[in-house]
Structure 1
Amino acid sequence: MSAPRMTETPAPSPADVAAEPDLPARLARAITLGGPIPVSQFMAAANAHYYATRDPLGADGDFTTAPEISQMFGELIGLWAADLWDRAGRPDVRWVELGPGRGTLTADALRAAARAGFAPPVHFVETSPALRARQAQRVPAATWHDDVEDLPTDLPMIVIANEFFDALPIRQLMRGRAGWQERIVACQDLLFLPIPGASVPDGIIPDELRDAPSGAIIETSPASVGIMRVLAARIVAQGGALLAVDYGYEGPAIGETLQAVRGHAFANPFEEPGERDLTAHVDFATLGAVGTASGAIVSGPVPQGAFLTRLGIDTRAAALGPRVAPDRDRLVQAMGTLFKALAMRHRDWPEPAGFQ
């Protein structure tokens, strides 16, 4: 999250968004003048431009997310939060969503949770003017922030991060003939290509992966670690909990997961930077370790399918009728194995539902 910080601002309209210079040309000039850049810098620049200039969701966009597939997802998350809040003694809290897309999850969640008396003030961490405008249509009373460090410090927070960490920049380390090297991005005539870069010390490679074969790739996300550390410290100091739902694994692990999506199809992540969504699988083991080291209590990860089933998606689907059966199957089966849920909470807060 490299945009200038602000504390509390209204959502701007799309007319407020000025056109940025052509990103591929700008990156090409930077690489020509300063040399190849790390994959993390390339990904950060590409995604910052991509999200700032469009609403990428839905049939006319590049991809969809669980809240856009079915109202059931947001409703269950809202009831999950209301149950946790109720068992914590119904304290005053703030609702925080990181990267809230169109605001659909929060709108569905708080509509369902209101039946239990749970109606906290809403805070969105979002840097995209285009998406802020869409969020304001669904949750007009929200307050927007550019950075997690700008979130209020006065009350416990219930933080929701649905498909947020996967879009944060990653480093790629590649095993070469002479050892491990940082993977960097070179450019010639607007053709961007990943190549091996400077050597990195063996000491930063996990012991069990250090002797991987030539060509092996390890991915790390310092940006994810930094944000998780801030949120964990806040939860330990203020109270509350975090729920992260994303696709990923429990690392460390060998393998490249950086991918691009455009028009609901996979694409080359190094072509047309800023015009396609770049993501990478989330290392839930690392996120959990950050929470534990900060003094928070971590639950999971558990597969999303098991998590939603424990929260009662079958009962909710039955109540809504046969028309939602395909959506239920997609959430529990197609997204239910690769996608995982992880929770982090203050030690005085109860264990959240879905993880037992």
Structure 2
Amino acid sequence: MKSSKKKACPKVSVIIPMFNVEKYIDECICSVLNQTFKNFEVICVDDGCTDNTLNYLKDYKDSRIHIVRQQNRGLSGARNTGIRVAKGKYIAFLDADDFWDHRKLEKHVRHLDRDFDLGVSYSSSLFVDEQSALLGIGQFPSLKNISAKTILCRNPIGNGSAPVIRKDVLEQIAFNDGTKSWRQYFDESLKQSEDIETWLRIALNTQWKFEGIKEPLTFYRVNASGLSANLTKQFASWQYAIEKNSQKHPSFFKKFGSLAQAYQLRYLSRRALQSRNKVQALKLIHQALWTNWRILSEEPSRTVLTWCCSLLCILPNTLYSAIERLTMRAIGLLQKRTTA
């Protein structure tokens, strides 16, 4: 007699978008399979890979791993495909060049299970280089009392591999703009800043809470190519993503729009410093202060440190690099104290 018992659905669906990531995919997948929490599925979305990424995946015989193939649609398109086929109550995003602490899912599941109003759980992150070595810095964001202003100005989630989200939240903010035959969760018209647009859409249009976990459970890879990207283009992309929500919430953006721009310019100034584009760093931090001086009153230490680093651009590179390392460690300590 055949059993009528159905196979239980996984509690967490881990979605990994993949596009030519053969260099990193093993470390990424292993960090999921080594989780202390075991009730998950892994949805690897092949977003048109042309390298050996898929050959690496063939070595894994774990039945929890599922591969979904599609033509290249970008990060948002790959995540959207993963969400649509996901069976889990919770959705965890992991970019293929990042990896997790082995306790990440356990801690996020416990976090979400004990608070039914919590929609987005995220963690602090540590930065690693292309060889997975720790850089001594990371993201240690605010953890509680997260408002739409916090999301707009400071984006406490930080990166796309940090959050674990109730699938109900994503279903609530899904949309169909007529350009695709499927519903979108992440806006596929965006090639950059798609994360902040989605988090902001959740904050502005739902009552779900955002809350963070203090421990750094995500390892975020800083690629050299990413650091040297066109920062002016990044700022324009961020502005475009933010404006997607401005028509529905004009008073909110009138109140906080320029402050958010100032924080974004300060962030890009730090990115310019990391890529050794010191002249642009100086330009960006002054543009940030000109846009809205309140970043100096709200976060004086981080703003002054960024400004001082940019002023040191006239120093020889060796001396500048030594001072920069000390300063970035100081910023890291300030971040930890802020969230303590």
Fold similarity call, TM over 0.5: no
Q: TM-score, normalised by structure 2?
A: 0.29
Select the structure that is richer in strand. Answer: 1
Q: TM-score, normalised by structure 1?
A: 0.28
**Which gives a bigger RCO, structure 1 or 2 (Cα 8 Å, sep 6+)?**
1
